[in-house]
């Protein structure tokens, strides 16, 4: 098949693009490099730098494409609170521009990567796709709006569509920005560097951490699954892990006793969040295979930013 992956030089996008190439498909990637790095991509991936709202560029890239994976988005929750207009323009406006171009090019299917963040605070866990969303940030609002645009406009124009709500993905190659870094690579770096792990609240808040290889399996299946048109599907591990349990898992895998600091002046976000995977199993044949301990171990072994430090610590300890 011929694929276009927007945001394909990012953490999830590059893992997906490389997997598709390994499977023998032709893959084009569009990324503005605001957060991506083309060095992540295999040589056989056709990379183009550009904005997802650039319709003339999209028309060229979409020629004879069978399926579009739309991952291009700004993804920082705290940043979205400061700059909601920019998040609306990029995430929602970019999605609509892409949909117009896919209509013009005659693309058969669009797969949107949405987010588990759209659920917000929920009393019943795990959350199913029928749960009424309560987004708590402009980022979450932009992803929910993008879902509605994708499924509504695709129905009007005869394009197949599916939206995957990705929960807290992690794995080798994930960026650690100076501020608002993803919790797993940030905590791992702090632990290995003898730094402090700052926990907001008491650490009882839970999340669903899903390994990158499992996310990619779901995305690959979504391109060809027969009964997914207009569906919204959760993609997570199905395991609820508290921040305290995450710290304990990092300590166990690294052999490091973490220095934990609790900050009660700031919220740790929603109190609980874990995905119900029934629909993913039924429609995608999805079954997560990498548990948290194994995923952390793979991070230590496969990600250079951690493996070198970890090996030095092991040599010193031995």
- Residue 237, both tokens: 């591990």
Catalytic residue among 69, 87, 119, 139: 139
Distance CA 23, CA 184 (A): 29
Counted residue by residue, the chain has a size of: 318
Q: How far is CA 89 from CA 43, 65, 101, in A?
A: 32, 25, 17
Is the CB of residue 176 less than 8 Å from the CB of residue 217? Answer: no
Query: By C-alpha distance, which of 210, 211, 221, 192 is closest to 279?
Result: 221
Query: By C-alpha distance, which of 46, 211, 282, 262 is closest to 38?
Result: 46
Look up 139 and say whether it is catalytic. Answer: yes
User: Which residue carries 């990705």 as its tokens?
Assistant: 166
Backbone CA torsion sign across 10, 12, 17, 18: positive
Active site residues: 139
């Amino acid at each position: 098949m011929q694929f276009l992956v927007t945001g394909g030089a990012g953490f999830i996008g590059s893992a997906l693009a490389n997997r598709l190439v390994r499977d023998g498909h032709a893959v084009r990637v569009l990324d503005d490099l605001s957060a991506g790095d083309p060095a992540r991509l295999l040589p056989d991936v056709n990379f183009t730098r550009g904005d997802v709202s650039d319709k003339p560029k999209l028309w060229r890239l979409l020629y004879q494409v069978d399926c579009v994976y739309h991952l291009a988005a700004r993804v920082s929750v705290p940043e979205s609170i400061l700059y909601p207009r920019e998040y609306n323009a990029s995430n929602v406006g970019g999605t609509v521009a892409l949909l117009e171009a896919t209509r013009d090019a005659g693309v058969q299917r669009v797969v949107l990567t949405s987010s588990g963040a759209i659920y917000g605070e929920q009393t019943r866990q795990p959350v199913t796709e029928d749960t009424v969303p309560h987004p708590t940030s402009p980022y979450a609002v932009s992803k929910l709006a993008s879902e509605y645009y994708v499924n509504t406009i695709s129905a009007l124009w005869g394009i197949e569509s599916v939206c995957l709500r990705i929960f807290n993905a992690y794995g080798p190659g994930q960026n650690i920005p100076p501020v608002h870094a993803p919790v797993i690579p940030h905590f791992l770096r702090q632990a290995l560097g003898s730094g402090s792990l700052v926990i907001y609240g008491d650490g009882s808040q839970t999340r669903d951490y899903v390994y990158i290889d499992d996310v990619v399996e779901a995305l690959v299946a979504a391109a060809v699954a027969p009964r997914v048109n207009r569906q919204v599907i959760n993609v997570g591990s199905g395991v609820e892990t508290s921040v305290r349990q995450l710290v304990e898992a990092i300590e166990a895998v690294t052999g490091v006793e973490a220095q934990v600091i609790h900050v009660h002046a700031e919220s740790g976000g929603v109190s609980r969040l874990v995905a119900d995977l029934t629909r993913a199993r039924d429609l995608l044949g999805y079954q997560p295979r990498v548990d948290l301990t194994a995923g952390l171990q793979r991070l230590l072994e496969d990600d250079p930013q951690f493996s070198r430090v970890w090996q030095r610590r092991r040599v010193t300890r031995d």
